[in-house]
Amino acid sequence: MTARRWIGILSIVVGGSISLAPAQAFASANESAPEDITLGSAGALVKVCTVAPSDADSSANLGFCYGFFEGAIRYHQALAGTNINRDLVCAPAGTTRQQGVEAFVSFMQENPQYESEASIDAVIRALAARWPCS
């Protein structure tokens, strides 16, 4: 995938919030303080990316989520750009970062068997399922 295809995913989405997870999956304000964010698994990343908009730290969590996605995409680009590995994700031009997060959250809700997987692996798995390369 070329860097131009990821411009949409890497663009900053202002004012949007993801509310795809069921209410019981949201962390409470006491559990989602920015200094407490840890990613021991893909399931933890889902919780960070779906924190309730009413949470006092929702902006920090969403920023962390989007930052993680930017790192994941940059990691994918670095690996695919070596000519040793092939592209795994081929999102169409204009795809936004929010759409990438939504694809990940939806994938994880439909495939809970990957909740204990490393976050980076699950992000690439989810995005490749949504936007596979031919």
Give tens-digit pLDDT for 30-55. 444 556 677 788 999 999 999 888 98
Picking from 130, 51, 52, 46, the residue whose alpha carbon sits closest to that of residue 96 is 130
Number of alpha carbons in the 13 Å side-chain half-sphere of residue 9: 31
- SS3 string, 82-131, reads CCCCCCCCCCCCCCCHHHHHHHHHHHHHHCHHHCCCCHHHHHHHHHHHHC
State the angle between helix axes of 42-49 and 58-80 in degrees (0 to 180), rounded to the nearest 10. Answer: 130
Instruction: Quote the longest CA-to-CA distance of the chain.
Output: 45
Neighbours of 130 (CB within 10 A): 18
Cβ atoms of residues 101 and 11 within 8 Å: no
Share of the chain above pLDDT 70, in %: 69
Model pLDDT, residue 113: 96
39 close to 125: Cβ distance less than 8 angstroms: no
Q: Distance (Å, rounded) from C-alpha 110 to C-alpha 14? A: 27
pLDDT at 24 exceeding the cut of 90: no
pTM over 0.75: no
Averaged pLDDT of the chain = 75
Q: Give the model's pLDDT for residue 14.
A: 26
